[in-house]
Structure 1
Amino acid sequence: MSQADNLIQRLFSRRAGSLLPLVLLGVLTGIIASLVMMSFLFLLNATLGGLNGKNLEDFEALTWHWQLGLPLAGSLLLILLYRLTPPACQSVGLAYVLERLQFGQGRIPAANIGFQFVAALIALGSGHSVGREGPTVHLGAGIASQIGQLSGRPPSQLRLLLGCGTAAAISAAFNTPLAGVLFAMEVVLMEYSLLGFAPIIAAAITASALTNGLLGTHAILEPVSLSLASYRELPGLLLTGLWVGLLAALFQRLVLVFIRLPLTSRAVRLLLAGAITGGLALVTPQILGSGYDTINLALSDGLPWPLLLGILAAKLLATAAAIGLGVPGGQIAPTLMLGVCAGSVAGALLPGASDPALYALLGMAAMMSAVLHAPLAAIATVLELSLSAEAMLPAMVVVLGANLLCQHGFHLPSLVITQLRVRGQELQTHPLRTALAQRYLSELADMSLVEWSGEGAPPRSKATALVVKRDQHYYLLNPAQLEQRMAPDTLDALLTPERRLQRLERDMSLLDALRTLQDDTGAGFLVPVRRGRGLVTRARLVHMLTEEGGLY
């Protein structure tokens, strides 16, 4: 172990319930995530500036040759990148982060972070209909995972640090610290905890402050001041939410259609995504890129609703193709653009005195919420991006309608969970099972044990547990109950199935451990830890699960 490893481990204790070290790690995560995100944004803006000039996303000004060929060129570069990169490094995005949280103990390899950085630059710089949010989450969570692994954090705290990285990256990239905190807890960690709030908030505000201090204010959306003209429009708002929820359900169905296309070659899938995007861009070039310029136009000057309806249809197809066919980009920015188009159309057609731009703003929150099942994060994102607090109540009404239709009308999970299900990975969403699935036996392991072969006199030790190996099996005995001179048949009589320990080759979640113990009468588990093997008995597991403060 290097001197840097030793220093970090001394600074950041693993002691349960120790909040200050986690807050300090959150601050460190915020600093590094901010620096990485600033580098990413600098390179992305330089690429877009070289193509579009000062208006970074003005793909509409390009000639038709560029509008058609740019996404195809991006697909070719992505194919080359995939060919030059080992397959183990190619898993990226928000879905991958959630998969590592539940099935990988929160460990994200450094190579995947580098691949995501380059792949996202290519996808976003070439005008594919994806956003920077998915790559942002991956980069932030990956940085936090590396910091947590370097400092020797247990799996549950490593998981919390991934939330810190998510909040820090979103806060740095979009100047939305509150939305970053809520997104980390609502979408990534899928729970709110008192222990988690302080480190995640520390990471978010550190990243936002450092980014603003070095780059200045970098708002993505132009601030707008919008309010509801009359509460008589509440039924119209609810209808708007249902309309957006219907489109969100259609969007998810389209993504599944493209995921399930019988095309096994990644190269063919990426080229098809580029061709679909480029072809649609010939008719509606507004669909290229994240679409923030179109969003700002809809919120300020307003656009004719027939044009917005056309953009909505084309963006829906292009984004579903990009995500379903595997373009390594995010899904939040496209859903915001889909929402602003859908909301604008509703605002233009529904009766009422409110500005149609208000409906556009509300549609953004509703679409993001319905697709990701993140109502609070969606409302906070829109309010922080627009600086329009007057839209709070109307946003809640529209989000309610959209979520009701998607979750309870069509029984659709979030798009991220759908993507994982297609891969055969079922995330735990029940609160109790989720908590158990995300904590591991190694966090409960007792290192005070001595191993004995069963031959000769039992070892004299102050250890509370004695592990005996006999015929490739391990048994748990109490050293105080053993005599120094014991006949072999007496020892054999003590080695009953009830004292048998399962020796694990890899760590196991508490949920899997409880399922194992249901069908096993043994005494517990021998768990691999950094310093060798640790012991988790059945009694210790039950005690930690039932005593207040047992889990942290």
Structure 2
Amino acid sequence: MPRLSLPRCFSLDRFRRQLASVDALPQLCVLGLVSGLITGGLMVLFRLLLALGAMVFLPGGDPEAFEGLAPGARALLPLLAVALIGVWLWWLPPAGRQIGVAHVLERLTYHQGRFPLRNWITQWWVGLISVLGGLSAGREGPAIHLGAAACSGLGQSLRLPHNSLRVLVACGTAAGISASFNTPIAGVIFAMEVVMMEYTITGFMPVILASTMGAVVAQAVFGVEQPFQESGVMLGSLFNLPWIVVSALGIGLLAGGFVRVARAGDRLRPLPFAVRFALAGGLVGALAWWYPQIQGMGYDTLGLTIAGELSLDVLLAVALGKLLVTAFAVACGIPVSIIGPVLVSGGAAGALCGLLGAQLMPELAAGPAVYAMLGMAAMMGAVLQAPLAALMALLELTHNPNLILPGMLAVVVAGLTSRQLCGCDGFFVSVTRHGLHPLQQPLMQALNRVSVPAVMERDLVRTRRRVTLEQAGTLLEAKPVWILIERSSDAKPALALKAADLARWMLEHDENDKLIGKDGRLDLLEIPGQRLDLAPIHLQATLSEAFDRLNTKHADALYVEHGHRPKHKRISGIITRDAIERYYRYSDTPPG
């Protein structure tokens, strides 16, 4: 029976070659659609597992119903949670304990978006236990890590070029946020602003599709959720703007304090692993005895804050206590997700500012609900240094466009306060070079968008060092640009000779030339001409990887290997430093 095969235009090799280019927008959009479906399914599974776990011991099977537990039970629950997390992390090496958004950025920066499986599995365990165990933790970090790693795994299994893996990571990030909170626009902006750290059409379109599909999958299972919809809330009077500035200033200081406490891990590192975890769990448990609102994700608490149903002492506990226990858990080495707690604490801090404003300006001040919603956006924007993502979260969580104008003011003031007065960069950006994270450097951004097949020279032939004149003529019949000279030992670098130099020599010399040995063979290393020392690089690498390898190996050019079996690798082409520089200088036109 004859085998069915896809037409040539649908071959996987052709698909990979197209993705290597900077203008592979249709192919990336296909990957974005698939990524959204995969990530949406994973987030549905994660949320169902949270609900299943809550059915065991939480009232009504609600993952946030810690208020219904007895004070002793909710105080001991965080200690049990840190014990379960600690036992899991104890047997892992330090690299295997890295999860969440920081891990996604690290893998994107230094590993071209390739994720270890063990960290992905660890994220499932820690994400579920930290939320169900009553720690102050959200589900945003698990959503981002699980989605990004799954989509990257899809690209790795298909052996796609690394420039497309970067886009797949952004697709998984956006779809994870979108499926978790029904905020597709915020998911897109977060992926581009916090993870990719750049805005390009090629990046935007597949990420938008992924975020859309993630939301569609989640809505098909859970329906359209609008937890904080307050469409009738308005600023009222522009006289509120000065007080919004003052409130945002205070929230920016809180955000700066949060980042500083969370980064105090070096001071706690001398303490034993178990002691640090016990301290973090004990602090949460002690505060939860009186204020269970600081536990878990806290979105029910945020809803009550916006509705004005929380007392003053609870608002203080959530604004300060939840912020503190979250930062302290991170400092102690517990990899909890911080975005949800930051939103909730910001909402409580904003509500407190609104209550104070009502006392100062009883006739003009807007209600606490306005300040609560502005506070959550201001806190998120200041902690993450992601103003657009915070504004989109404000719009989509509240479904209230009336808040965008004051929200812009609050987010900017809070972000400037945290950055300039407290000296805090974005929470997840901890590695800088000349004031920029590596992902923010323009050269690296441009070179990461393209893989080596897009610019490599494919016209080459391979040969041994010594050849007869007849063999040399046969080599030139293929009209190559480069002749790759294989060496007798792997310890010696491979060399590339310009084919034009060999052709010129053969026109000017004959078999009686002194370069031809007694065996009638020509030594290609002795021919006058341009020769390049070569180092290997794999076909999936980006131009950024090629640029780094040229510098670290002190090579003149790279030969591009294809295949995975060491003794059966093929050489697909040569990429020179000049080719990389030409792409960077003329990247606005398709490489030839």
Residues 1:541 and 2:547 are matched in the alignment:
no
* Structure 2 contact 163–449 (Cα < 8 Å) conserved: yes
Moved more, 205-214 or 302-311: 302-311
Instruction: State whether residues 344 and 356 of structure 1, in contact with CA within 8 Å, keep that contact through their aligned partners in structure 2.
Output: yes
Aligned-pair CA distance for 1:511? 5.0
Q: Is the 8 A contact 1:174 1:220 kept in 2?
A: no
CA-CA distance at 1:240 after TM superposition: 1.3
Structure 1: give runs of 5+ residues left out of the alignment: none
Report the Cα offset of residue 466 of structure 1: 0.9
Judge conservation of contact 2:482–2:496 (CA < 8 Å) in 1.
yes
Question: Aligned pair in 2 of structure 1 residues 152, 121: CA closer, same or farther (>3 Å)?
Answer: same
Query: Which of 9, 12, 23 is matched with 2:12 structurally?
Result: 9
Name the residue aligned to 2:494. 474
- Look up the match of 2:158: 151
Picking from 533, 538, 556, the partner of 1:523 is 556
| Aligned partners of 1:186 and 1:377 also within 8 Å | yes
Unpaired stretches in structure 2, ≥5 consecutive residues = 517-521, 564-568
| 2:241 alignment counterpart | 234
Q: Where does residue 464 of structure 1 map in the other structure?
A: 481
Q: CA RMSD in A?
A: 3.0
In structure 1, what residue type is equivalent to 2:24? S
Equivalence for 1:93: 100
Please give the alpha-carbon distance, in whole angstroms, between the structure 2 residues aligned to 1:47 and 1:8: 44
Tell me whether 1:314 sits opposite 2:321 in the alignment.
yes
Q: Tell me the CA shift for residue 156 of structure 1.
A: 1.3
Q: Distance in 2 between matches of 1:356 and 1:551?
A: 56
What residue number does 1:396 align with?
A: 408
Please point out which of 198, 203, 209 is paired with 1:202.
Answer: 209
User: Per the alignment, do residues 542 and 174 of structure 1 end up closer, same or farther by CA in structure 2, a change over 3 Å counting?
Assistant: same
Determine the structure 1 residue equivalent to 2:300: 293
Structure 1 position 412 matched with structure 2 position 424: yes
2: distance between equivalents of 1:154 and 1:347?
51
81-90 vs 307-316, which moves further: 81-90
The answer to whether the 8 A contact 2:306-2:372 is kept is yes
Shift of 1:510: 4.2
TM-score (norm 1): 0.90
2:535 aligned with 1:503, yes or no? Answer: yes
Deviation at 1:353, TM superposition (A): 2.4
Select the residue among 377, 380, 391 that pairs with 1:365: 377
Distance 1:491 1:551, change over 3 A: closer
Larger Rg: 2
| CA contact 2:466–2:523 (8 Å) conserved in 1 | no
CA distance in 1, matches of 2:551, 2:84: 51
CA distance in 2, matches of 1:516, 1:210: 41
Given candidates 375, 381, 390, the residue that maps to 2:387 is 375
On the 8 A contact 1:130/1:323 being kept in 2, the answer is no
1:477 alignment partner, SS class? strand
Q: Do the aligned partners of 1:101 and 1:438 also contact (CA within 8 Å) in 2?
A: no
* Compared CA separation, residues 265 and 450, structure 1 to 2 (3 A): farther
2:51 equivalent to 1:45: yes
Q: Find out whether 1:103 has 2:138 as its counterpart.
A: no
Matched, 1:446 2:457: yes
For residues 325-358 of structure 1, give each alpha carbon's deviation from its aligned partner in whole angstroms, at most 9, with x where no partner exists. Answer: 2223311101101101111111111234211111
* Structure 1 residue 479 displacement after superposition: 2.1
Deviation, 1:453, is 2.4
CA distance in 2, matches of 1:346, 1:76: 37
Q: Which moved more, 1:220-229 or 1:394-403?
A: 220-229
TM-score by length of 2: 0.84
Q: Residues 519, 152 of structure 1: CA spacing in aligned structure 2 closer, same or farther, 3 A cutoff? A: closer
| Cα distance in structure 1, aligned partners of 2:550 and 2:392 | 43
Aligned-partner SS, 2:533? strand
- What is the 5 A alignment of 1:132-281? 132-263=139-270, 265-281=272-288
Alignment deviations for residues 163-219 of structure 1 (CA, whole Å, 9 cap, x no partner): 111111111111111111111111111111111121111111111112212321234
Deviation of the 1:245 alpha carbon: 0.6
Q: Secondary structure at the match of 2:429?
A: helix
Question: Is the 8 Å Cα contact of residues 315 and 348 (structure 2) preserved in structure 1?
Answer: yes
Q: Secondary structure of the residue that 1:330 maps to in structure 2?
A: coil
- Deviations along 1:85-139, one digit per CA (max 9) or x if unpaired, are 5765432110111111111011113332222112211111101111110111001
- Which residue identity is paired with 1:112? N
SS of corresponding position for 1:473: coil
**Mapped partners of 1:56, 1:515: distance in 2:** 47
CA distance in 2, matches of 1:327, 1:268: 12
> Is the Cα contact below 8 Å between 2:37 and 2:213 reproduced in 1?
yes
Distance 1:180 1:390, change over 3 A: same
The structural deviation recorded for 1:265 is 4.3
Whole-Å separation in 1 of the counterparts to 2:462 and 2:264? 56
Instruction: Give secondary structure in 2 for the equivalent of 1:242.
Output: helix
Q: Distance in 2 between matches of 1:95 and 1:551?
A: 34
In structure 2, distance between residues paired with 1:167 and 1:200: 7
Residues 137/308 of structure 1: CA separation in 2 closer, same or farther (3 Å cut):
same
Q: Aligned partners of 1:115, 1:551: CA distance in 2, in Å?
A: 42
For the residues of structure 2 that align with 1:43 and 1:139, how far apart are their CA atoms?
Answer: 14
Distance change (3 Å), C-alpha of 1:281 and 1:50: same
Secondary structure at the residue paired with 1:260?
helix
